[in-house]
Amino acid sequence: MRPLDALEQTIRERADAARQGDGGKSYTVKLLTGPLEKLCGKVTEEAGELVEAASEQGDEGRAHFVYEAGDLLYHTLVLLRRHGVDLAEVEHELARRFGISGIEEKASRAK
């Protein structure tokens, strides 16, 4: 199983635990059951940290960039779960775009 799929499964298990009033020691459960603004704030924060890390140089900068990308992906997966959206649904959306040039798609929206 891809790590991203395994992580999604763990997050789904945490959501099930939360529904049963379980998962007190889980950070994921806190994000799933706390205020939506808190989770959205974390996604925004992690996106900002990834963008900041993008200008860091060298091996250390690269490792930090990868670390921040992991944080953003994790928090994004938790937000998707909170909305009942599976990763497969997002992958389906991305697959739908295969072969559609971003520039052409933008131009078609401007018409």
- Output 38 or 97, the one with its CB closest to ligand PRT: 38
65 binds ligand PRT (CB under 6 A): no
- Output 7 or 53, the one with its CB closest to ligand PRT: 7
| DSSP, res 85 | -
Q: How far apart are CA 81 and CA 8, in angstroms?
A: 8
27 binds ligand PRT (CB under 6 A): yes
Burial of 104 (0-12, 13-18, 19+ CB in 10 A): exposed
Tokens of 17: 């635990």
32 binds ligand PRT (CB under 6 A): no
CA-based nearest residue to 4, from 97, 88, 98, 95? 88
Among 14, 53, 81, 87, binds ligand PRT (CB under 6 A): 14
Chain positions contacting ligand PRT, by CB under 6 A: 7, 10, 14, 26-29, 71, 74
